[in-house]
């Protein structure tokens, strides 16, 4: 019994470790932008922050559609339908290019929305210019995401990791050059981060295109062997799977944004301490996130092989491994919370508040990790619509109303930021339970196919 789980742990580790490295690289690119823009001026940092709030929400919604490529390719790879994988890739690339164009178009015209926001114009001017500078970059990264998901669906996660690390390293000198005007370049402040991101995104896209074209491991799928026009059938398949993923990501991001808005009423110290706690929770969550993303590939491969019993083992293993990594995160956050907060701030009030909130951020890891394990496995089964509905119920019927009530009213007295964290933990716990129940139902459904066959 233990051996079969250890076998799956090994598969998930081999697929997931490079994914973890890739996710960390993407996060560090954002961190580099924040640090370098912050040292330019407070306005540049604020402008970048506002610009990122819009750009990442829009991009993650659209890229959710492209995330459908991973389970599609994974199942075809497991079924050894290699040439069909190449055909699907060529057809999905049309979708990626179209979505990239739409993202760029939205970013180029975001000034109309920024102008009506109650934010200082010196900040929104920087945000508008940043979004225009980064518009093409996000179009490039949308195509890169399509190629990345194709590679990860075939369990080839290391090439993506190497390219992501290369991009993260390259982003540092480019930020310095365009933000501070080094080597004769124009001094653009926070807007320079947008220029750097566009250049890095283009180079990453071209690099993965070249690598896929010349590496022998991809040859079996003949990715660019012929011209393939857009396919209505594939477009429907991608949007049927991907739109719920995109909406699910949007629902999750909107919960965090909603929490930030609600707590904004309580003052800047509360907002700052909450921001630290959320950032720490997000960084530690990358480990179970990588396991969940690996599960989408592993489970998809097994479904493609018609190995439904092993897919059940892989799904269970994913949840157990996510629970284990989440428990480790809990121990680390609670044990070192004062050291961690000390990295973010020297303000005594914010420090005290953030240290307290990190207890909730630690507890947050458990339901967050478990739900990611179940969600990743469900994606491997190509089950995305019902999880989207469950996300909405958990976050907007439970998390936000409960969080708002506890924050502003409470049972005896308002709980402040702690109330919002209680609400989010409850919402995540509800989703974790519902997602596991959904996964069990899906697994039983697939196992019944075996009974029908035999």
Is 193 within a domain? yes
The per-residue pLDDT for 99 is: 95
232-264 and 42-66 helices cross at what angle (nearest 10)? 150
| pLDDT surpasses 70 at 438 | yes
| pLDDT surpasses 60 at 189 | yes
Q: What is the mean pLDDT of residues 88-114?
A: 92
Residues 158 and 198 in one domain: yes
Would you state the structure tokens that stand for residue 344, as one six-digit string?
A: 């973010």
Residues 377 and 418 in one domain: yes
Q: What is the mean pLDDT of residues 199-204?
A: 96
The per-residue pLDDT for 116 is: 78
Is 120 within a domain? yes
By mean pLDDT, which of 174-183, 232-241, 258-267, 388-397 is the weakest? 258-267
The per-residue pLDDT for 454 is: 45
Is 1 within a domain? no
Rounded to 5°, the CA angle 370-66-108 comes to 115
| pLDDT surpasses 60 at 452 | no
Last residue of a domain, one of 205, 230, 255: 230
What percent of the chain stands above pLDDT 90?
A: 60
Residues 263 and 177 in one domain: no
pLDDT tens digit sequence for 10-56 = 989 899 999 999 988 988 888 788 778 877 777 777 777 778 777 88
Measured between alpha carbons, how far is residue 93 from residues 128, 280, 394 in Å?
28, 35, 34
Residues 106 and 225 in one domain: yes
Residues 284 and 340 in one domain: yes
Count how many domains the chain has: 2
Is 6 within a domain? no
CA separation for the pair 328, 351 (Å, rounded): 23
CA separation for the pair 29, 51 (Å, rounded): 15
Q: What is the mean pLDDT of residues 322-344?
A: 91
Reduced to 3 states (helix: H, G, I; strand: E, B; else coil), residue 337 is: helix
Q: What is the mean pLDDT of residues 97-106?
A: 94
Last residue of a domain, one of 174, 200, 230: 230
Last residue of a domain, one of 230, 264, 293: 230
| pLDDT surpasses 50 at 263 | yes
Residues 318 and 368 in one domain: yes
Is 7 within a domain? no
Residues 315 and 403 in one domain: yes
Determine how many CB atoms are found less than 10 A away from the CB of residue 240: 13
The pTM (predicted TM-score) of the whole model is: 0.88
Is 311 within a domain? yes
Residues 262 and 222 in one domain: no
Is 2 within a domain? no
Is 163 within a domain? yes
Residues 219 and 176 in one domain: yes
| pLDDT surpasses 70 at 451 | no
Name the residue range of residue 404's domain. 243-454
Residues 270 and 419 in one domain: yes
Residues 204 and 297 in one domain: no
Residues 304 and 212 in one domain: no
């Amino acid at each position: 019994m233990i051996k079969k789980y250890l076998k799956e742990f090994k598969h998930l580790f081999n697929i997931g470790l490079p994914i973890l490295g890739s996710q960390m690289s993407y996060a560090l690119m954002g961190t580099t932008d924040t640090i370098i823009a912050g040292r330019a001026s407070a306005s540049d940092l604020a402008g970048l922050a506002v610009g990122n709030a819009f750009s990442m929400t829009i991009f993650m919604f659209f890229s959710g559609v492209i995330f459908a490529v991973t389970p599609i390719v994974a199942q075809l790879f497991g079924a050894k339908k290699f040439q069909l994988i190449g055909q699907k890739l060529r057809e999905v690339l049309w979708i990626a290019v179209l979505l990239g164009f739409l993202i760029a178009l939205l970013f180029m015209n975001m000034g109309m929305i920024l102008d009506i926001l109650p934010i200082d114009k010196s900040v929104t001017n920087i945000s508008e210019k940043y979004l225009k500078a980064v518009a093409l970059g996000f179009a490039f990264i949308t195509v890169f995401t399509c190629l990345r998901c194709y590679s990860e669906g075939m369990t080839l996660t290391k090439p993506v990791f190497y390219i992501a690390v290369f991009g993260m390293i390259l982003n540092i000198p480019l930020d310095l050059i365009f933000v501070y005007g080094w080597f004769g370049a124009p001094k653009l402040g926070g807007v320079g981060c947008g220029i750097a991101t566009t250049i890095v995104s283009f180079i990453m896209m071209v690099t993965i295109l070249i690598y896929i074209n010349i590496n022998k491991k991809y040859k079996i799928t003949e990715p660019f062997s012929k011209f393939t026009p857009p396919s209505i059938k594939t477009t429907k398949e991608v949007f049927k799977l991907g739109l719920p993923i995109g909406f699910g990501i949007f629902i999750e991001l909107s919960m965090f944004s909603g929490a930030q808005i609600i707590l904004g009423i309580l003052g800047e110290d509360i907002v700052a301490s909450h921001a630290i706690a959320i950032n720490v929770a997000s960084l530690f969550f990358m480990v179970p996130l990588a396991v969940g993303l690996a599960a989408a590939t592993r489970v998809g491969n097994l479904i493609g092989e018609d190995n439904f019993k092993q897919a059940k083992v892989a799904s269970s293993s994913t949840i157990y491994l996510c629970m284990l990594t989440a428990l480790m995160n809990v121990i680390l956050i609670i044990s070192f919370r004062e050291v961690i907060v000390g990295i973010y701030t020297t303000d005594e009030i914010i420090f005290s508040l953030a240290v307290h909130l990190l207890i909730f951020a630690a507890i947050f890891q458990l339901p967050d990790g478990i739900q990611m394990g179940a969600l990743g496995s469900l994606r491997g089964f190509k089950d995305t619509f019902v999880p989207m509905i469950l996300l909405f119920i958990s976050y907007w019927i439970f998390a936000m109303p409960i969080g708002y009530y506890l924050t502003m009213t409470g049972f005896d007295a308002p709980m402040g930021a702690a109330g919002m964290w209680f609400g989010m933990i409850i919402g995540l716990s509800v989703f974790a339970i519902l997602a596991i129940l959904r996964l069990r139902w899906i697994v039983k459904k697939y196992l019944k196919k075996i009974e029908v066959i035999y």
